[in-house]
Structure formats: C-alpha cells, structure tokens
Amino acid sequence: MKHHFSTRIAGAKRSAIRELLKLTEQPDIISFGGGLPAPETFPHEEMAEIAAELIRENYKNVLQYGLTEGSKTLRRAVCEWLRPQGIDVTIAELLVTTASQQALDLLCKAFLDPADVVFCGLPTYMGAVHAFTLFQVDKIGVPLEDDGMDLDELEARIKTAKDAGKTLKAVYVIPDFQNPSGITMSLDKRKRLLEIARREDLLIFEDNPYGHLRFAGEPIPSIYSMDDEGRVILLLTFSKTLCAGLRLAVMLAQGDLMDALVRAKQATDLCTSKLTQHIAAQYMLRYGLENHLKEIRPIYREKRDAMIAALERYMPAGVGITWTKPEGGLFVWMRLPEGIDATDMLEDAIEHKVAYVPGASSYVDGDGQNTLRLAFSLVTPEIIDKGIRRLAEVVRTTIEAKQVAAGAR
Amino acid sequence: MKHHFSTRIAGAKRSAIRELLKLTEQPDIISFGGGLPAPETFPHEEMAEIAAELIRENYKNVLQYGLTEGSKTLRRAVCEWLRPQGIDVTIAELLVTTASQQALDLLCKAFLDPADVVFCGLPTYMGAVHAFTLFQVDKIGVPLEDDGMDLDELEARIKTAKDAGKTLKAVYVIPDFQNPSGITMSLDKRKRLLEIARREDLLIFEDNPYGHLRFAGEPIPSIYSMDDEGRVILLLTFSKTLCAGLRLAVMLAQGDLMDALVRAKQATDLCTSKLTQHIAAQYMLRYGLENHLKEIRPIYREKRDAMIAALERYMPAGVGITWTKPEGGLFVWMRLPEGIDATDMLEDAIEHKVAYVPGASSYVDGDGQNTLRLAFSLVTPEIIDKGIRRLAEVVRTTIEAKQVAAGAR
C-alpha cells in the first residue's frame, strides 16, 4: 500500500526520540533520553481535586466541545500571568494548542509552502525538524555560539538563499536553554535577530518551552515582547511548567497571523480539550503558576548540578569531551571527540542500561555525529550519578576501541 | 502580514459551524447548530472519580508524555469492545488520535498530495471538507440516495476524473447516520463500494462517529470488517459515545498505512493526552462502554422523535419541505423549496432565537443552498418543540416573502 503514500510522508522518518521513549519503559534502563519533566514537580493532589470538581460540577461545559481559540478562562489566566513578565496582551493574541508540537504543525500549515526556507539552529529541536520535514520545508541550519545563533552566519546564509532564488519565510529559534544544546540567546542577539527579520521581512518563530524553568542567572526579555510589527510568534507550553500529560500550550500571535493559525487549527482538531484547559486554568487561578514555578526550579537546579558534577567526576579527561552548563531547562549537551559516532554508541549504552539522544537528528545539515543530548529532568540526583558513571564507561570503551582500531590501521 | 500566508491557508475559510458555536453561548438562542452530544449522557460522576484517582495515584504515568500510538491500556480496552462487533484486531491496528478531526488531518498528511482526488458525499461532513481543502485536495462530490452514496454516479465520476488524468486516491464515506444527512449506507452498497475501491485501487476512509448511537433498525457491518486487503481506514470516536471534551478517538488501519499515520502523528502532536486516554480506558474497564451506550441510545431516540414530531406539527405543508428520519446519530437533514437560501435565512432565524447549520458548506460542488442541518442532540424534547416552532415561523415567512417577491416581478 506504500504507493498510496503522500510525497510528504514518504520523506518523513519515524522519530528516534519517540522510539526511545519506548525503551524507557524497561525499568532497569536509566534514561537521559526523552525531555520528560520531573514527575515530582506535578502538583497532582491539587490537580486531582480540581479535575474531580470540574467534571462533577461543570461537566456540561468541560466535557463538551469548546472554542477553537481556546477557553476564555484559561486565556485570561495566561494573560494575567504574562503581564508582570513584560508581555501585555489580550486574549485575542492567544491561541490554545494541543501542546507545542501542534503549534509547530500550525505554523507549517499557515505559513510554509513546500520549498519555503526556515532558518534554524545547528543543532535544533528535532520535533520542529520533523514538522518542517513533513511540510517539505527547506531547512537551512545556522551554527550556534555560546550566546545563541551565529547571526553573521545567518546573514550570510540569507544572502546565499536569496541569491539562489529561494522563498525565505522564517527563523526558528529557542532562545532560552535551547533544545538540545541548553544554550541561551543574549539580549543583543535577540535585538539584532529582530532587526534582521525586519530588514529581510522574515517571521520569527520563537519557541520557549523552558524559559520559565530558569534556575540561575537573570531572565532575558522575549523577542515577542520587543516586536512592534507583529512578525514574531511566541510558543509557550504547560508541558514543563505544569505537566506534559495535559497536552496543553499557548501560542501568541497578532492580527492576520493569528487569524491564519485559528483557521489552521479548526481543520486540525477543532479545539483542544476543555477538560485539560480548565484544569490548568483553575490551577493557575487557585494556586498561581508563579508560586508553583518557584517551588520546582530548585528541583531542576539540583538535577543539573548532579549531572554536571557526575560528568566532571566520571568522564574521561584530556580527550576533548565537552558539555554545556545550562542556566535552566532540562538538557546538557555533550560533544565527544571527533570520529566518535553517538548513534553507533547508543547500542552499547543501552546494553550498559543507560540511554541518551544522539545529536545527529538535531542537525539539519547531517552533522553532529559526535554529539548527544542528556536530559537531567526525569531521574533523581542519585540515579543521575549512577547513569553518568555507566555512560562514562561506555564513552571510555568507545574511545579506546577507536584508538585501537586507528593503531591497527 | 498576509503575504506570509501559505498557499493552502490562503484558500481555507473559517468554519461556519465553529463560528456558530459562539452563538450558542447566548442562553436565549435555541441551537440546532453544532453537533454537540447531549451532556446528560456524560457519565460525569464516574469520570470525576476516575480522574481524581488516576491523577492522585498514577500521576507519574498519566501526567507524563506517552506513546505516539496511544496508551496500550486504552487500545486493549477498545479491542475488547470491538471484538463482539465483528472487528477482531490487535492493538497494532489501532492509533489513538486527538479526536476524529485529527484523524482526518492525519489521513491528509499521510496519503494526499495537492490535487489528489477524494470522492465524498453531496452533502458531506464539513470538518472533512475543511481538512481536505487545507491540504489542497481535489474534492469530487457524489450525490447521496436514501441508502447512501449513488455508486453509479461514483463510477461515472471516477471515469471522468481518470480521463482527465487526475490522481485518484480515496473515497470518504460516513456510512451510519451520515453527517449532515442522517442517511445510512446499505450493506449492498458497502460491498459494492469495496469492490469499486479494489478495482480502482482506491483507499476508503470510513468515518463512523455515530454508528454506536443506533436507536432503531439493525446494525450493518462496517466496511472495515469486510476488507481483506487493508485498504479501508476506519475512524471511531469517543466524542459522541462518552463525551466530546476528552478530544479522544481511535483510527484503525493496517501495515504500511498505519506506519504512515503514526509518523504523521509524531510530527503533529507527539501523542494524545494520557490523562484523557486513561479516563476513557478506566471507564471502559470498570463500567463497560456497551452498558453505557444501552443507556444513552433511548435519550437520543426520544430527542429525534421530538424533532420529527415537531417538524410534522409545525412546518408548512404542501410547499415541498422534506426531512430525513435517521435511525441513529444526531442529525435531521431538511430540504426547503428550491430558491430558498438557508444561509440567508439564518440571520432571520437567529433574530427569532433559533439556529441551525446551513447545508451549503457541506456541498463541495457549491450546491445545497436550500438545505440545512438540524442537530437534535443538545437540547431537551420540550426545547426542541419550542425551537422547531420558531424555525417553522421563520420558514413560513421566508417562503411567503419569496412568493410576494415573485408575484411583484
């Protein structure tokens, strides 16, 4: 039946990260793979009470169809929460989505024709790569520096793409604690990116799932808050701040762009679950999302610290292994010596009962074989220590085997 | 910013039915518009208890990310439920979707390139029309008869499309109590449709949201159950059998087709909410969906009876107004005299505090101006009576005004 496939699906592969999630079902594997939020941060007692009350007393509403734009109660609560953060919007600028992956899908639907160009980081979030690939978008990678995307390189690649007659549409960035690298874009670069977008008439897709999980350093304003032309679309999500199982996110956009996104969502899933929307809204109204975030940030900081400490303790020194030290989010990004293939190494790692995400699938240019992503979010500091010790052993063995093979040649 | 729109979104309109849902928020309007399930059928006490228990005791699981294919517990429960209905499948043939609209979106993504042909009823479900339109599919309408799609016409239109060099991909049908017409496809036609699909190498998208809400007559086997080649994809949903607010459905497909759908879903929303999946699964395991359906079918029958009785009582006789009498589902389909435009009439109806869905948006050939859909599902028999009386008054006035205008010419 493969001859019935669309052109777009024939070019789309299964997601390595989703297949990996299946492995984490084996209880003896320590997984640094999926970017899963820490379950101990889920306010489950409060949510259980809210869910039961909503379903019992408000079932005619929360178990019914809802507005495509999303529940007004939730959108109002999000507006109230965003205002002190310098994002002063009305509910008309907010669209509730069935988590951020849907927001990426809607961006593709609304704005991207096949062969349209989107610039993205090297590396970048692989879920975005999957969405762009499914819509046959031309993904042009731009290297990352320690303070975010290399904007000189972005300008160079814009010029090359324009010279080649391509249709340039957008820049996709994850400014805070980027997935997978953990890198944060500086304020200067955010401003300059916005200027470039203005000059070149590009949209900016600002994906910020982790910004509210900052546990060190100072918050940096979102690009959305600095945009006075309505060319930035901001993606926020409840998946990391509240829990992933609600499949709930919001995207911010203005005017025509919002109108296009709403039309795309109507055809995509009519509306997001009112039940999950109202659970989140009531949690925000009763307990305050900011209070909750204050409680959970130290949990993630402790895990990051445990991972950094374990990496320093166990990883072979002097062979050129490096890793990032993010100020928030869920991920440490690791670079192995050139010539080591993290995808090949994964099989050994799984035999040693530890898992991670190979970096290659986060590179749209086919690079990154020697990189990998370590999520410190799911497991306890003690397990992190144990898992990194296992991983270090696998890395050491892999490097030694490589050296032996090189010597034998 | 409209110049940033994709070609596909530039051609997609806002859904009239979704905009209509907003009107139903006004409490004094009697709405026969949206196909909303009856809230008194939602087993809210049971669901409240289940939700609280799941979140409290199983939060590490139900509030976390899940498998793209869907929770195994839910898929197993669905398999058990389907077996006595003559659909004997394993969980590998089941994909959980974020309600049926997403299933339509995934069908488009996986199988339909721009300009590919899908045959559908005249009229057909407008949500499917929206999905196909967004993916720039060539929708070819085929008239409906009292026992379903006119298959002679289908064969004629297949020939015409082939002669025109088009790429024929699929037939989209809603065999039970079709939306919007309420018409059920006979067993003979189901068999013949499958033969035509085999001969012409077409897929069949069998959308069955209402089949389990049969309150009169005998069930007819699904086309999926008669297919031994794996060319039928069956869409089922919990939106009408349990409640709409969970945004939960399942689609059945085999082999390569299922593989393509899973890949499409990964890029679309990663996974459906585990919380909503487990609520449905636990409800099925503890109470039995079939027991629930036995309880709710009479509720819908009573409402249909009330609507049919009110139509007979109030609608002007002898002017050529007709309506269907469905054996299940949510909808009565009404045909006004030629020359009456149900879209124009809606404004008057809303002034008279009654709403419906004009039929034109369910016709992909631009026809159907004199048709409209009446959902009897949401309101009580008493309100149905009151609403149809209002509507009859609007219809009478509209016809009389038309006659006066014709006389004056």
Say if the Cβ atoms of A230 and B1 lie within 8 Å. Answer: yes
pLDDT at A154: 98
Total-model pTM: 0.96
Compare CB distances from B98 to A59, A267, A269 and report the shortest one's residue.
A269
For A178, which DSSP code?
Answer: -
Give residue-wise pLDDT tens across range A126-159: 999 999 999 999 999 999 999 999 999 999 999 9
Question: What pLDDT is recorded for position A365?
Answer: 95
Q: Which residue stretches of chain B have pLDDT < 70?
A: 15-25, 408-409
Give how far B148 is from chain A: nearest CA, Å. Answer: 25
Is A1 an 8 Å CB contact of chain B? yes
Residues in chain A with CB shorter than 8 Å from the CB of B68 are 15, 18
For residues B16-53, one letter each, b for 16 or more C-beta atoms within 10 angstroms of the residue's C-beta and e for the rest, the string is: bbbebbeebeeeebbbbbbbbbbbebbbbebbbbbbbb
CB atoms within 10 A of CB B387: 26
Cβ under 8 Å to B: A residues 339-378: none
In the 3-class helix/strand/coil scheme, how is chain B assigned residue by residue? Answer: CHHHCCHHHHCCCCCHHHHHHHHCCCCCCEECCCCCCCHHHCCHHHHHHHHHHHHHHCHHHHCCCCCCCCCHHHHHHHHHHHHHHCCCCCHHHEEEECHHHHHHHHHHHHHCCCCCEEEEEECCCHHHHHHHHHCCCEEEEEEEECCEECHHHHHHHHHHHHHCCCCEEEEEECCCCCCCCCCCCCHHHHHHHHHHHHHHCCEEEEECCCHHHECCCCCCCCHHHHCCCCCEEEEEECCCCCCCCCCCEEEECCHHHHHHHHHHHHHHHCCCCHHHHHHHHHHHHHHCHHHHHHHHHHHHHHHHHHHHHHHHHHCCCCCCCEECCCCECCEEEEECCCCCCHHHHHHHHHHCCEECEEHHHHCCCCCCCCEEEEECCCCCHHHHHHHHHHHHHHHHHHHHHHHHHHHHC
Specify the pLDDT at position B18: 59
B15 touches chain A (CB under 8 A): yes
Which helix (H) or strand (E) element contains residue A296? Answer: helix A289-314
Contact A43, A287 (CB under 8 A): yes
Query: Which residues 238-257 on chain A approach chain B with CB closer than 8 angstroms?
Result: 239, 243-247, 255-257
Predicted local distance difference test score (pLDDT) of residue B337: 96
For residue B178 the two structure tokens come to 């079709």
B264: contact with A, CB 8 A cutoff: yes
Residue A15's pLDDT is 65
Answer yes or no: do B267 and A105 touch at CB < 8 A. yes
d(CA A96, CA A277): 8
Q: What is the pLDDT of residue B404?
A: 80
Residues in chain B closer than 8 A to A60 (CB atoms): 39, 42
pLDDT digits (tens, 9 = 90+) for B39-75: 999 999 999 999 999 999 999 999 999 999 999 999 9
CA neighbours closer than 13 Å in the CB half-sphere of residue B102? 32
Would you say residue A21 has pLDDT above 70?
Answer: no
Shortest CA distance from B9: residue in chain A: A110
A233 in contact with chain B, both atoms CB, cutoff 8 A: no
Q: What is the ipTM of this complex?
A: 0.95
Distance between CA atoms of B107 and B112, rounded to whole angstroms? 7
Q: Which residues contact B407 (CB under 8 A, 6 or more apart)?
A: none
Please tell me which of the candidates A37, A48, A169 has its beta carbon nearest to residue B4: A169
User: Peptide bond preceding B180: is omega within 30 degrees of 0, i.e. cis?
Assistant: yes
Residue B366 CB: number of other CB atoms within 10 A? Answer: 8
Whether residue A110 lies within 8 A of chain B, CB to CB, comes out as: yes
Chain B hits for A12, Cβ within 8 Å? 263-264, 267
From CA A394, how far away is CA B38, in angstroms rounded?
A: 58
Q: What integer is the mean pLDDT of A11-20?
A: 69
Contact B27/A at CB under 8 A:
no
* Cβ neighbours around A156 below 10 Å, total: 12
Q: Which of A90, A362, A332, A102 is nearest to A236 (CA)?
A: A102
**Does the beta carbon of B136 lie under 8 angstroms from any beta carbon of chain A?**
no
Q: Quick check: B1 contacting A, CB < 8 Å?
A: yes
- Chain A: give the shortest CA distance to residue B129, in Å: 9
- With CB atoms and an 8 Å threshold, state whether A63 touches B45: no
| H or E element at residue A191 | helix A187-200
Residue A19's pLDDT is 67
**Chain B: nearest CA to A221, how far in angstroms?**
24
Positive or negative, the CA dihedral B141, B143, B146, B147 is: negative
Q: How far is CA A139 from the centre of its chain?
A: 17
Confidence class for position A404, pLDDT limits 50, 70, 90: confident
For A169, phi then psi, to 5°, come to -115, -45
Q: Which helix (H) or strand (E) holds A345?
A: helix A342-351
Q: Which residues of A touch B101 (CB under 8 A)?
A: 267-270
Name which of B8, B60, B266 is nearest A109 (Cβ-Cβ).
Answer: B8
Q: Both ends of chain B: CA-CA distance in Å?
A: 47
B39 to A63: CB separation less than 8 angstroms, yes or no: yes
pLDDT of residue A73: 98
Question: How close, in Å, is residue B256 to chain A by CA atoms?
Answer: 6
pLDDT in tens, A190-248: 999 999 999 999 999 999 999 999 999 999 999 999 999 999 999 999 999 999 999 99
**Residue A292 at interface with chain B, using a CB cutoff of 8 Å:** no
CB B404 within 8 A of CB B65: no
Predicted pLDDT of residue B408: 66
